[in-house]
Structure 1
Amino acid sequence: MGKLTAAAIVGRALEIGDAEGLDGLTIRRLAADLGVTPMALYWHFKNKELLLVGMADHLISGFAPKTGDERPWRERLREMVDGLIRVLRAHPCAKNILEQVDPLTVPSFLAVWDEALGLARAAGFNADESCLISKYILQSAISIADGPVHFRSTHTPEQLEEIVRVKRLGLQSLPAGRYPNLVEMAGPMVSGMSADLYDTFGVDLVMSGIEKLAARN
Structure 2
Amino acid sequence: MDRPGAAPPYLRIVSEIKRRIEAGELRAGDRVPSTRQVAEQWGVALATAAKALNTLRQEGVVVAISRVGTVVAESAPGSLPPPRVPSAPQRKERKRPASATVHDGKRERMVRTAIAIADAQGFDAVSIRSVATALGIPTMSLYGHVRGKEELAALMADAAFGELELPATPPAGWRARLELAARLQWRLYLRHPWLPRLVSLTHPQPMPNMLRYGDWGMGVVRELGIEPDAGRLVWWAVSNYVRGTATNLEPQAESERHTGLSTGEWYSAHLPRFRAGLPSSALPAHVAPATFDLTGFFESGLQLLLDGVAVLIGRQRLS
So what's the TM-score if we normalise by structure 1? 0.74
Q: Distance in 2 between matches of 1:22 and 1:136?
A: 25
Structure 1 residue 49: deviation in Å?
3.0
**Residues 30 and 101 of structure 1, relative CA distance in 2, 3 Å threshold:** farther
Q: Which residue does the alignment assign to 2:310?
A: 211
Q: Distance in 1 between matches of 2:221 and 2:272?
A: 42
* Aligned partner of 2:210 among 99, 109, 113: 109
Structure of higher RCO (CA pairs closer than 8 Å, 6+ residues apart) = 1
Residues 193 and 246, structure 2, Cα contact 8 Å, conserved in 1: no
CA distance, structure 2, for counterparts of residue 11 and residue 75 of structure 1:
32
Report if the CA contact (8 A) 1:14-1:93 is conserved: no
CA distance in 2, matches of 1:17, 1:100: 22
Alpha-carbon distance between aligned partners in 2 of 1:79 and 1:210, rounded to the nearest angstrom: 15
Match of 1:167 in 2: 271
Rg: which structure is higher? 2
User: In the alignment, is residue 71 of structure 1 matched against residue 176 of structure 2?
Assistant: no
Secondary structure of 2:289's aligned partner? helix
Kindly state the Cα deviation for residue 42 of structure 1 after the two structures are TM-superposed: 4.9
Q: Kindly tell me: are residues 127 and 64 of structure 1, through their superposed partners in 2, closer, same or farther at Cα, counting changes over 3 Å?
A: farther
Q: Which amino acid aligns with 2:290?
A: S
Q: Which of these residues, 48, 57, 62, is aligned with residue 158 of structure 2?
A: 57
The alignment covers a number of residue pairs equal to 209
**Which sits farther off after the overlay, 129-138 or 37-46?**
37-46
1:157 alignment partner, one of 257, 261, 278? 261
Gaps of 5+ in 2: 1-73, 81-104
Q: 1:169 to 1:215 in 2, by over 3 A?
A: same
Contact 1:103 1:110 in 2 (8 A): no
CA 1:99–1:162 in 2, change beyond 3 Å: closer, same or farther? closer
2-structure distance, mates of 1:97, 1:86: 16
Candidates 190, 194, 198, aligned match of 1:89: 190
Correspondence for 2:134: 33
Taking only aligned residues, the RMSD between alpha carbons, in angstroms, comes to: 3.6
Tell whether the 8 Å contact from 1:104 to 1:110 is kept in structure 2 after alignment. Answer: no
Taking the aligned partners of 2:130 and 2:266, their CA distance within structure 1 comes to: 38
Single out whichever of 167-176 and 23-32 deviates more from structure 2.
Answer: 167-176
- Percent of aligned pairs sharing the same letter: 23
Aligned partner (choices 229, 236, 239) of residue 128 of structure 1: 229
Conserved 8 A contact 1:116-1:134: yes
Q: Is 1:82–1:203's contact at 8 Å kept on the other side of the alignment?
A: no
Asked whether the 8 Å contact 1:53–1:101 carries over to 2, the reply is: no
Structure 2 residue aligned with 1:197: 296
TM-score (norm 2): 0.53
Q: Equivalents in 1 of 2:233, 2:266: separation in Å?
A: 42
The DSSP-based 3-state class of the residue aligned with 2:193 is coil
